[in-house]
Amino acid sequence: MTSSDPAHERVPIDQLRDLIQLGAVLPFRLLDAQGRLLLGEGQVVATERQFEQLHERGAWAERERVEAVRAANAAPAAAPPTLFHRWERLVWDLDATLQRLAGQLAAPHDVVDLWRRAQALLDRDPDVALFMAVRQDDRRFALYALTHSLHTASLAALAARQLGWDDARVQSLACAALTMNVAIVRLQAQLAEQRDPPNLRQREAIERHPLAGAQLLRTIGVADDEWLAAVEQHHEELGGGGYPRKVAAPCEAAQLLRLADMLMAKLTPRAHRPAMAPRLATRDVFLADPDKRLSTAIVRVLGVYPPGSVVQLKTGETGVVTRRASGGQGPWVRVLAGGSVGRTVDTSAAADAIVQGVPMPAGVARVYPEQVYGLILVE
If you write DSSP's letter for every residue of 125-175 in order, what string do you get? -HHHHHHHHH---S--GGGHHHHHHHHHHHHHHHHHHHTT--HHHHHHHHH
Name the β-bridge partners of 312: 318, 356
State the Cα–Cα distance between residues 30 and 315, nearest whole angstrom. 40
State the Cα–Cα distance between residues 214 and 207, nearest whole angstrom. 13
pLDDT along the chain (379 residues), means of 10: 61 90 88 90 88 92 90 63 90 95 96 98 96 86 93 98 98 98 93 90 97 98 98 96 96 98 93 87 95 96 94 94 87 86 90 92 81 80
Predicted local distance difference test score (pLDDT) of residue 76:
55
State the Cα–Cα distance between residues 157 and 161, nearest whole angstrom. 6
Predicted local distance difference test score (pLDDT) of residue 75:
52
CA angle 246, 248, 250 (to 5 degrees): 95
Nearest to 60 by CA among 22, 98, 92, 16: 16
Rg of the chain in Å (alpha carbons): 21
Total residue count of the chain as it appears in this document: 379
Whether 127 and 83 have beta carbons less than 8 Å apart is answered as no
For residue 90, give every residue at least 6 positions away whose Cβ sits within 8 Å of its Cβ, in sequence order, or none.
Answer: 114, 117, 118, 121, 150
54: left (phi over 0), alpha (psi -120 to 50) or beta: alpha
What are the structural domains of the chain? 7-72 (no CATH), 83-302 (1.10.3210.10), 310-373 (no CATH)
Residue type, 313: L
What backbone phi and psi angles, to 5 degrees, belong to 234? -75, -5
State the Cα–Cα distance between residues 50 and 36, nearest whole angstrom. 17
CB atoms closer than 10 angstroms to residue 379: 4
